[in-house]
Amino acid sequence: MKKNWFYRKSSIKKLCAYSLIILIVVFFVEYFIFLYPHFDIERLFGFYAFLGFLSCIALIIFAKLFGILIKRKDDYYDL
């Protein structure tokens, strides 16, 4: 059976490389824009990139835990 493009090793390597490039670009764009921080921690370089990364991880963990809570057996809809 042929694997989907998302599960091929070459595709995974490309996706990781593209994601890393996007992360680096977003991280260094902060040099070129002026932010209006309200708190001292917001003045740290890369704070918003780090906050976005942590938020993404928190959403993934929440989704996994929520999936465990609402999971049904495979034969739930059988008569």
pTM over 0.85: no
Please state, in angstroms and rounded to a whole number, the distance separating the CA atoms of residues 32 and 74.
52
Cβ contact 42:35 at 8 Å? yes
5 and 11 Cβ atoms separated by less than 8 Å: yes
> Which tens digits make up the pLDDT trace of 7-65?
778 888 898 899 889 888 888 888 888 888 999 999 988 888 888 889 989 999 999 99
The sign of the dihedral angle between the CA atoms of 34, 35, 40, 42 is: negative
